[in-house]
Structure 1
Amino acid sequence: MATENKYYPIKIAAAAQDSTLKVNHTCVRVKNPARSIEFYQKHFGMTLLGSKDFPDMKFSLHFLTFPKEVGKTEQGQPEIFGTSGVLELTHNWGSENDPEFRVNNGNQEPHRGFGHICFSVADIKKTCERLEAEGVSFKKRMADGRQKDIAFALDPDGYWIELVQYIKDTEEAPRKDIGDKFNHTMIRVKDAEKSLEFYQNVLGMKLVRKSEHENAKFTLYFLAYGVPSGQNSSSIEGVLELTHNWGTENDPGFKYHNGNEKPQGYGHICVSCNDPAVLCNEIEQRYGDKISWGVKFNQGKMKNLAFIKDPDGYSIEIVPSGLVL
């Protein structure tokens, strides 16, 4: 890793100084929303914050989270975009009736990119035993592979759900059950240095943990908008995990699948704050054509939001915390 920033050398003030910034949600496309919503409610105890149909574009959005106190908008609706740990399920109408339709889960060649979402729990062994008894499929059980302290469950579309335990004797609080958390979203990145500069300098995230695995030749970087004092990073929500497989940065032809090109699956993460217009304007002014936009702020069909792209082409939605669907 280089010691000097060379890709995005200026830390954006609007991001560095905005205490309202948070990783709000992660979007994945699903074939059958009724099936997926039931799965996350029944097996993980998530609650449906709200849904929205878009008839002109023939898709629907469904927002789930673990039970928590969520603020209200001026209209009295749950403040979906003002909290962290939200899972957005996007349904393109008709996919549930197409026997050939499959989502890309991001873990199969040649379309690897997005890896998984991660739920952290107080007692992983107990959680895994319950899920198996309920008939949930697993990609990896705790007994499989080298790492015995994690597991990977599978949702109805084949997306991987990592399960980790946040109560650890070797780390700080929490020491008791504080409920299940939507801890992080993992994406693979080609050039760790470039991606770290983007997420830290452009979007204002902080590197909260790094895990190097020399035997398997990969490194994990965990970023967030802050960890409350006395808590470990696996016990909070709104974390982004970047996975770097060593050597990809030196291959000019190497590219990860961003989830939005065919075949589709993963959609984006979403960053929310009180005034995204200020943030987006400063990014545009500082970096110009170094930054790629899917949609600039307030310029798309859906107003009051933007989609920025990271160095690998993954989309990041930027919205106001009080956005009403």
Structure 2
Amino acid sequence: MVRIIPMASSSLNLASLRPCSSYSSLSSFRIPIISRFGVSLSSSCYNPSRRIAFFHLGGAVPQSQLFGMRTSKLLRGEGNCTGLSTAGNMSQASTASTQENALEWVKNDKRRLLHVVYRVGDLDRTIKFYTECLGMKLLRKRDIPEERYTNAFLGYGPEDSHFVIELTYNYDVDKYDIGTGFGHFGIAVEDVAKTVDLIKAKGGKVTREPGPVKGGKTVIAFIEDPDGYKFELIERGPTPEPLCQVMLRVGDLDRSIRFYEKAFGMELLRTRDNPEYKYTIAMMGYGPEDKNAVLELTYNYGVTEYDKGNAYAQIAIGTDDVYKTAEAIKLCGGKITREPGPLPGINTKITACLDPDGWKSVFVDNLDFLKELE
């Protein structure tokens, strides 16, 4: 379901904003200008960061080292146009071969969605809502008083095998702007109506009563958490991954599909066009929807830019090699916002990037991530 979320005004003390995650990187913040239709006239987002992440660590490893290619020396032919042409052809062939190797490696990399990160205004209130109304478990908390923020991890199973939520509370900041680009999270439940009744009994806000999706048979409902984040409840049989979707709006669906397929190694699981309501969706992920968390990319006809606010932060994805990952993203036209390398203090290797619409993702070394959980 596609809805353009109206902007919520808030007064923020920018100096008090801290990271949404230990994997965050420094970015800029601009107050967005919003048209009457809720579409941003200037697209920018604020991604606060821990001080340890401000250091520019780990320069990019040359692609010749990353993918086992030996860089060819250019042929020199003084006054010989044939020699120059041959050199150019060899250079192009080498580049094409490197790209092919990089993209093939991406397909074989062991990747999965680890967690989604966003900011909330009252951590205890949100934990109470997610555990009592949505049936999640509080997996762990960490408080960083010197940086004035606290994280809480919640989900339906252990972090080493499930997609989970990482909430961030920045001291003394009680409100954020969700913007118009973020859509909703999806949760698979066995009985939508019963879940909605429970949420109502706990004082939760239901924005769409249970019923079949338009043009289909799947029963859904929509609710909002205390900070205004939308959750789609999807009636589905037992699943190993109840936290099943993150919906983001994009300005060019074909461009986004190509990027996530090549740079991220995701599979296009399905698309659905709804001309009556003027939107198209594409489900992208690392496995079937009924067993894995997926990205739901939504294109609203004629809308090419959205305001991202400063509430939603990023998705973290596991990888066997952050260096090769960063190089593949560059080859696919993605923007690296943090070069691959270890974080100070915990030595977890990460790299961060932006997709063509400016949505941020962080890739985390699989082995380092498991060590963090010990």
State TM-score, norm by structure 2: 0.66
Amino acid at match of 2:257: L
Q: Does residue 1:190 correspond to 2:190, yes or no?
A: no
Contact 2:111 2:317 in 1 (8 A): yes
**Local SS of the residue matching 1:298:** strand
Partner Cα distance (2:272, 2:150) in 1: 37
Q: Specify which of 329, 336, 351 is matched with residue 283 of structure 1.
A: 329
Partner Cα distance (1:300, 1:246) in 2: 41
Question: Partner of 1:85 in structure 2?
Answer: 163
Amino acid at match of 1:36: T
Partner Cα distance (2:142, 2:323) in 1: 24
Show CA shifts across 1:247-302 (max 9, x none).
23xxxxx422234xxxx110011111233333223434x34xx3212212227667
Seen in structure 2, the aligned counterparts of structure 1 residues 28 and 59 have a Cα distance that, compared at 3 Å, is: same
Question: Partner of 1:94 in structure 2?
Answer: 172
Partner Cα distance (1:192, 1:84) in 2: 27
Partner Cα distance (1:183, 1:144) in 2: 18
Partner Cα distance (1:144, 1:17) in 2: 38
Contact 2:119 2:176 in 1 (8 A): yes
Question: Partner of 2:277 in structure 1?
Answer: 216
Amino acid at match of 2:335: S
Question: Partner of 1:58 in structure 2?
Answer: 148
| TM superposition shift of 1:216 | 0.6
Amino acid at match of 1:51: K
**Local SS of the residue matching 1:128:** helix
Question: Partner of 2:209 in structure 1?
Answer: 141
Question: Partner of 2:106 in structure 1?
Answer: 15
Structure 1 vs Structure 2 CA RMSD: 2.4
Partner Cα distance (1:300, 1:291) in 2: 22
Question: Partner of 2:360 in structure 1?
Answer: 315
**Local SS of the residue matching 2:349:** coil
Unaligned runs of 5+ in 1: 1-8, 71-79, 96-100, 106-110, 168-176, 228-232, 249-253
Partner Cα distance (1:84, 1:197) in 2: 26
Partner Cα distance (2:127, 2:336) in 1: 31
**Local SS of the residue matching 1:139:** strand
Seen in structure 2, the aligned counterparts of structure 1 residues 27 and 126 have a Cα distance that, compared at 3 Å, is: same
Seen in structure 2, the aligned counterparts of structure 1 residues 301 and 266 have a Cα distance that, compared at 3 Å, is: farther
Q: Specify which of 262, 267, 271 is matched with residue 201 of structure 1.
A: 262
| TM superposition shift of 1:221 | 0.5
Q: Specify which of 108, 127, 132 is matched with residue 195 of structure 2.
A: 127
**Local SS of the residue matching 1:63:** strand
Show CA shifts across 1:218-237 (max 9, x none).
0111111012xxxxx2x333
Show CA shifts across 1:19-70 (max 9, x none).
x20011111100111111111111122112222233343222211111x3x3
Show CA shifts across 1:158-207 (max 9, x none).
1001101124xxxxxxxxx3477001000000011111111110000001
Question: Partner of 2:316 in structure 1?
Answer: 270
Partner Cα distance (2:321, 2:214) in 1: 45
Contact 1:122 1:179 in 2 (8 A): no
Amino acid at match of 1:223: M
Seen in structure 2, the aligned counterparts of structure 1 residues 28 and 246 have a Cα distance that, compared at 3 Å, is: same
Question: Partner of 2:122 in structure 1?
Answer: 32
Unaligned runs of 5+ in 2: 1-98
Amino acid at match of 1:256: Y
Contact 2:118 2:166 in 1 (8 A): yes
**Local SS of the residue matching 2:340:** coil
Partner Cα distance (1:257, 1:279) in 2: 28
Identity of aligned residues (%): 28
Amino acid at match of 1:59: Y
Larger radius of gyration: 2
Partner Cα distance (2:195, 2:246) in 1: 20
Seen in structure 2, the aligned counterparts of structure 1 residues 136 and 144 have a Cα distance that, compared at 3 Å, is: farther
Partner Cα distance (1:55, 1:275) in 2: 32
Partner Cα distance (1:154, 1:215) in 2: 26
Partner Cα distance (2:327, 2:366) in 1: 17
